[in-house]
Chains A and B, each alone.
Chain A
Amino acid sequence: MSVLVYINSNNGLYKSAFEAVTYGKKLGGDVTVITSGAADTKVLAGLGKYGAGKVLVDRSLQGDDDQQLTRIIANAVVSSGATTIIFSHDLTAKAVAPRLSVRLKAGLVSGAIEVPNGDGTIKVNVFSGKAFSSVKVNSASKIISLLPNSIQPEVSGSDCEVEEFNGNSGESKVKVLSTKKPEGEIPLPEAELVVSAGRGLKGPENWGMVEDLAKALGAATACSRPVADIGWRPHHEHVGQTGVAIRPNLYIAAGISGAIQHLAGVNGSKVMVVINTDAEAPFFKAADYGILGDAFEVLPRLTEAVKKFKSSGN
C-alpha cells in the first residue's frame, strides 16, 4: 500500500504535519508527502523522521488556491501510486479534501481521531463531539482527514529526500487581495494546553491574568462566544459550536458557565479544569477538576503554583 500525505508548509511546519505523517506511517507501506510553496528543503527533509520516504514539493504554487492544490495533489497521487491520502483536518483540508474526493472518486473520512480498526473502519467525531462513528469506505481509494491532537507524532527514521515536483497546478480563479498571517506561535486547534475565559472576567482589561497563566503553562488562550461577540477578544479565539473546535490535553475554563454550545467545541479535551463562582454552573458536570471560587483570586494563585512547579525543574 502507498500513502500520500498532504502538508501545508506555507507558514513552516506545525505539529499537525508531524501527526499526519506519523498517521500515514502507522497505516503501513510507503509514505510520500506532497506540499507546495517556498518551505526550506532541509525543514521538509525532517518529515522523514516521522516516517516519510520522500517529500514532493511544487515550488510553482505559493498560495492555497483550492483548485490548484487539488490538481497538484491528484497528480501526486498518480505519481506515487497512493491509494490512501491523508490530510490534517484544518482549514486547507476543508477546502481541498472534498474536491479531491470527487476528482478521485475516493471516499472522504473527515475528523478521524484514530488509525483504522482491524476491520478497516475509521473512528470519527460526530454530533459536535457528543458521539463517535465508525466509517467504512467503499471506494478503492480513500481520503482521511485527521483531527489535530488525536495522535502523538512519533520519530521513527531520519531525514528523507526532497524532490521538486511539477504538479501542473493550472489556473487560479481566486485572486488573493490580502493575507493576514497567523498570529501567535501555535494555531488554537493544535495547542496542547489552552486557558480560556468568559464573561465572568467582567472586561477585556482583566485578561492579563488569563495571559499570565497561559504564559506560565506555555498554553494558548481562548474565550467563550459572548466575549468574542462583545469584542473583548478576537474572533479566532472563540471556541465552541460556532467558533473553533479544539481537543487539547488540558482545557482550563474560568468564568464560563459551560452552555451546551460551548461544550460542543471543547468536549474533546482530555482533561478539563473549571473555575466558577456558581456551584450550579453546568460546566462542573463536564469537568474533571472543579474549583468553586472567584477567577480573580484563583487564576493568579494558580499561575503562582504553576511557576513554582516549573521552577522546581518540571
Chain B
Amino acid sequence: MKILVCISKSPDTTSKIAFTDNNSKFDENGVQYIVNPYDEWYALVRALEIKESSGGNVTIITVGNANDEAVIRKALAIGADEAVRVDTDPTDAYYTAMQIAEYAKSNGFDLILAGKETINYNGSQVAGMIAEAMDLPFISLASKLDINGSTLTLEREIAGGLQVVDVNLPAVVSCAKGMAEQRIPNMRGIMAARTKPLNVIAPVAIENLTEFVAYTMPATKSACKMIDPNNMDELVELLHNEAKVI
C-alpha cells in the first residue's frame, strides 16, 4: 500500500494574525509555523496506522519553499517514511493541487489523503482538485476509514447525518475529526527524521486561477455589556431592541 499524504504549513493556532505590504500579505514576523492540524492529526496519523497494520509506505508531499523544511521534518518525525517538496510558493489551491497531482500521477499511489481544510485559508479545495485532475473518486470530510483488500469503507459527514460508503482504490480522501488521534513525535522519531529522504522537485508551469489581493481584520468588538444575572428580561429586551436578533 503506497499512501501519499498532502501536508500544508499553517500558523500556530494561537498566532497573532497581522498583515503587511499595505495589507496585501500575511505578516510572517514572529509567526511559528506548524503542520496544518487536520493534515497532521487526521490524515498523516491514519496513514501511519494503516501502514502499521497492513504494511506499506507513507510519503508526505508539500508545495513550498525551503523554509518549510522544519514542518516537513516534524511530519517525518511523527513517522512518515519520506518526503517530497515541490519547490515553489503555493499561490492558490488550484496551483498547489496541480503540482501534487502531477507528482502523484507518475508515482502510482493507492491512496491520497489530506486534511479537511487548512486553518489559514479554510478553502477545502486541494484534495478535491487532485481527485478531479487524476479522475479518481473523492470522499470528502471522512471521519472513519477502513481498508479491506483494495476496498475502502468510509464514514463521511453529510448535513447533520452520516453516510457509509465503499470505494475501490485508488482514491482521494479528505480527513476530518474522528479519523485518528494526534501523535506526539518521540526522540527516536525526531532523530530518524533527520536522515529520512526529502526529495526536492521542480514545479510544473501552472496558472493561478485566483489571487488573494487584500486582507482586512474584523471590526474590533465594543466591550462586552454585563447584564445582571437576576434580570434576564433586560437581556431579552436588549437582544430584541438593541441587537435586533430576536
Q: Is A163 an interface residue (CB 8 A)?
A: no
* A260 in contact with B224 (CB, 8 Å): no
Which of these, B93, B161, B222, B246, contacts A183 with CB under 8 Å? B161
The answer to the question of A1 belonging to the interface, with a C-beta cut-off of 8 Å to chain B, is: no
Query: Which residues on A sit within 8 Å (CB–CB) of B125?
Result: 97-98, 101, 108, 110
Interface residue total, chain A, C-beta cutoff 8 A = 95
Q: Give chain A residues whose Cβ lies under 8 Å from the Cβ of B222.
A: 288
B233 at the A interface (CB under 8 A): yes
Q: At the interface, yes or no: A298 with Cβ under 8 Å from chain B?
A: yes
Check if A125 is an interface residue, CB within 8 A of chain B.
Answer: yes
Chain A residue with Cβ nearest B120: A127
**Distance between Cα atoms of A199 and B117 in the complex (Å):** 27
Residues of B within 8 A of A106 (CB): 209
Check if A297 sits within 8 Å of B138, measured CB to CB.
no
Say how far A102's CB is from chain B's closest CB, in angstroms. Answer: 4
B203 within 8 A of A: no
Complex partner residue of A138 from B168, B210, B236, CB under 8 angstroms: B210
The reply to whether the CB of B35 lies closer than 8 angstroms to some CB of chain A is: no
Contact partner of B218 among A132, A182, A235, CB < 8 A? A132
Closest to B225 in A: A289
Tell whether, in the assembled complex, residue A111 and residue B122 are in contact, meaning their CB atoms are under 8 Å apart: yes
**Do A273 and B163 touch (CB < 8 A)?**
no
Are A178 and B97 in touch, CB under 8 angstroms?
no
* Bound form: Cα–Cα A176–B216 in Å: 42
In the bound complex, residues from chain A placing their C-beta under 8 Å from that of B11 are 127
Given A108-B125, A289-B227: A132 and B216 within 8 A (CB)?
yes
A166 at interface, CB cutoff 8 A: no
Structural contact, B140 and A293, CB atoms closer than 8 A: no
Q: What count of chain B residues pass the 8 Å CB interface test? A: 84
Which B residues from 154 to 202 make CB contacts under 8 A with A? 156-168, 171, 174, 176-178
Interface hits, B99-152 → A, CB 8 Å: 116, 119-129, 131-133, 136-141, 143
Which A-chain residue is minimally distant from B216 (CB atoms)?
A: A132
A91 within 8 A of B: yes
Given the interface pairs A288-B224, A297-B229, the reply to whether A136 lies near B213 with Cβ below 8 Å is: yes
Question: Residue of A at shortest CB range from B214?
Answer: A134
Report Cα–Cα, A243/B141, bound state, in Å. Answer: 11
Q: Is there contact, CB below 8 Å, between A133 and B210? A: no
Q: Which of A19-27, A37-45, A76-84, A300-308 is found at the contact surface with chain B? A: A300-308
Shortest beta-carbon distance, A280 to chain B, in Å? 13
Residues of A within 8 A of B94 (CB): 101-102, 107-108
A158 at the interface (CB under 8 A from B): no
Contact: A91 with B158, CB < 8 Å? yes
User: Quick one: which of A255-272 are within 8 Å of B by CB?
Assistant: 260-261, 264, 267, 270-271
- Note all chain A residues with C-beta closer than 8 A to B214: 121, 133-134
Residues 201-240 (chain B) with a chain A CB within 8 angstroms: 207-218, 221-222, 224-227, 229-230, 232-233, 235-240
Q: Say yes or no: is B66 at the interface (Cβ < 8 Å to chain A).
A: no
- A182 and B225 contacting across the interface, CB-CB below 8 Å: no
Q: Cβ of A131 and Cβ of B218 under 8 Å apart?
A: yes
Say whether A285 faces chain B, with CB atoms less than 8 Å apart.
yes
Q: What's the least CB distance linking A63 to chain B, in Å?
A: 9
Structural contact, A182 and B159, CB atoms closer than 8 A: yes
A125, B122: Cβ atoms closer than 8 Å: yes
Known contacts: A102-B133, A176-B163, A290-B225. The answer to whether A271 contacts B232 by CB under 8 A is no
Chain A nearest CB, measured from B148 CB (Å) = 12
B237 to chain A, nearest CB (A): 8
Q: Which of B121, B136, B240 contacts A126 (CB 8 A)?
A: B121
Taking the closest CB of chain A, its distance from the CB of B160, in whole angstroms, is 4
Alpha-carbon distance A184/B159, docked complex (angstroms) = 11
- Name B158's contact: one of A98, A179, A250, A304 (CB within 8 Å): A179
Answer whether residue A139 sits at the interface, using C-beta atoms and an 8 A cutoff. Answer: yes
Judging by beta carbons under 8 Å apart, are A101 and B160 in contact?
A: no
CA distance in complex: A96, B238 (Å): 42
Tell me, yes or no, whether A168 is within 8 Å of chain B by CB: no
A287 within 8 A of B: yes
1/0 contact string of B67-100 vs chain A (CB within 8 Å): 0000000000000000000000000111001100
Partner of A136, one of B164, B211, B227: B211
B contact set with A: CB distance below 8 Å: 11, 13-14, 17, 19, 37-38, 92-94, 97-98, 116, 119-129, 131-133, 136-141, 143, 153, 156-168, 171, 174, 176-178, 207-218, 221-222, 224-227, 229-230, 232-233, 235-240, 243, 245-246
A-B contact sample (16 more), CB < 8 A, given A137-B210, A238-B177, A308-B236: A11-B159, A94-B124, A102-B129, A107-B92, A107-B94, A130-B217, A138-B208, A285-B224, A287-B224, A289-B224, A289-B243, A290-B225, A297-B229, A305-B233, A309-B236, A314-B246
